[in-house]
Amino acid sequence: MRVRSGGFSNAAETGNSEYWAIDPTGSFFVLSTGLANHADISSQKVCEDIIKLLIPHRSQMSEMSADARPDSRQMLMSTLCGAMARAERSMFELAEQAVQYKDMAATADLLYLSNGSVYIGHVGYNRVYLLRGDMGRQLTIDHTVYEYLKSQGKSEEDLARTAYKDRIVRALGMNGGADIDTLQVDLRKGDRIVICSYGVHRCIQNATHLAQLYRSMDPQRASEFLVNYAIEHGCTGEASAICIEISDPGLRSSSLETESKITALEQICFFRDLSYQEMLQIMPITFEKSFAAGEEIIHEGDVGEELFILVEGTCEVSNSGVKIAKLDVGSSFGELSLVDSQPRSATVRALEPSRVLVIRANDFERLTLSGALAVKLLWNVTHELSERLRKSSATIKRQGLMLIENGISK
């Protein structure tokens, strides 16, 4: 994988509460904003600690990203989160040594690029954008009061009246242990990634506007331009940006791109009505499996622990040896296995060489433990189960009425 990158900040002139770092190999990128007490020390410490912790593991991480097995992906994301958590503990340890360092906190955006994908660890209100041609996408969700209340279903009218809506609610050093978002996005040649602080993104209308500002500049010039643009358009504090251009993404371990995976997942009841950014948080737990013609994908009576979405080929469904259905591309099966781990009610067999997108129950369960995404997923699960219960109750009622009518008629 080949990339070009550059970074720029006006922090030296405005207080040094923001710090950015790029490792010499061009694999790791970190941007941090210090909050409250000793902001200059916390942001620099977070960046330096994360890079220092990850560089010795770069070769192993590259092997993990090239491995299509789901456990390797989980180990890779755990490595990123582990480095961020260790940087957070380092702040706590510093506070224990000297009282003046108490209450230090910092945001952190960590990117790792390898084998055609970018892996992201995010906490705070800085942002990561993906620019593709003249269009752009915001990849991360701001951890602010505004976004938290929005995820709880507050209307735009209520949000407009909310005090302190830009106040940060999640960061390293806050609440004894940060909840870190992890994302994965597949990359193409020519893609550009921008990591920027609040001072920059508050002066940008949206991701497409950012793409138009970036144009075809080289990464170093683009990072300088974005910071200066922010200063010229009302930023009176610190502004920082890291720009990355994908010269050659290399080979991915999966054949499906992120957009195709999202399209497939949107058909599943548990993942409906999720934002693009929330869908990206699902990506690290998805993986692909291939099956030869005639091979069983699931077997009737086996305990179910995986959801499957057919993305290539056709499959046959049978119950007790009787063929009952044929599945085409886009079909899904095994949704309830994510929540109940009950025996499979049917056998599904590939009729031709086929590929499926898979999510395991234990990986799905981890996503439901905390955060706004967990609330949405659990709501979708509850809604789907209640719908199925309501339909079952209606069916039982109809059958009961038919039995009564038949009994009366006789």
With a cut of 70, say whether residue 318 has pLDDT above it.
yes
Lowest mean pLDDT among 56-65, 331-340, 385-394: 385-394
Sheet with 306-312, strands from edge to edge, namely 286-291, 354-360, 306-312, 332-333
Nearest-angstrom CA–CA distance, 159 and 379: 22
pLDDT of residue 389: 73
Which tokens in the block code for residue 254? 């999966």
pLDDT of residue 56: 94
Which tokens in the block code for residue 129? 């954008």
**Nearest residue to 236 via CA among 36, 7, 10:** 10
pLDDT of residue 256: 84
Of 159-173, 227-241, 251-265, 321-335, which has the strongest mean pLDDT?
A: 227-241
pLDDT of residue 408: 57
Compute the average pLDDT of residues 309-335. Answer: 92
With a cut of 80, say whether residue 135 has pLDDT above it.
yes
Classify domain 2-248 at the CATH class level: alpha beta
Which tokens in the block code for residue 299? 């077997």
Higher pLDDT, 307 or 12: 307
Compute the average pLDDT of residues 286-301. Answer: 94
With a cut of 50, say whether residue 381 has pLDDT above it.
yes
With a cut of 90, say whether residue 49 has pLDDT above it.
yes
Residues 6+ apart with CB under 8 A from 33: 17, 18, 39, 43, 106, 107, 124, 125, 126, 197, 198, 238, 240
Rounded to 10°, the helix 39-54/70-97 angle is 140
With a cut of 50, say whether residue 410 has pLDDT above it.
no
With a cut of 80, say whether residue 402 has pLDDT above it.
no
pLDDT of residue 128: 98
Segments making up each domain of the chain, as ranges? 2-248, 254-410
Nearest-angstrom CA–CA distance, 341 and 360: 11
pLDDT of residue 374: 86
Compute the average pLDDT of residues 72-79. Answer: 92
Residue 15 pLDDT class (50, 70, 90 cuts): confident
Higher pLDDT, 190 or 304: 190
Compute the average pLDDT of residues 393-407. Answer: 75
Lowest mean pLDDT among 31-45, 126-140, 144-158, 227-241: 144-158
Compute the average pLDDT of residues 136-151. Answer: 92
Sheet with 322-327, strands from edge to edge, namely 296-298, 347-350, 315-319, 322-327
Which tokens in the block code for residue 241? 């940006």
Rounded to 10°, the helix 207-214/219-232 angle is 120
Classify domain 254-410 at the CATH class level: mainly beta
Compute the average pLDDT of residues 44-51. Answer: 95
pLDDT in tens, 255-279: 789 999 999 998 888 888 899 999 9
With a cut of 80, say whether residue 189 has pLDDT above it.
yes
Q: What backbone phi and psi angles, to 5 degrees, belong to 184?
A: -140, 135
With a cut of 70, say whether residue 409 has pLDDT above it.
no
With a cut of 90, say whether residue 151 has pLDDT above it.
no
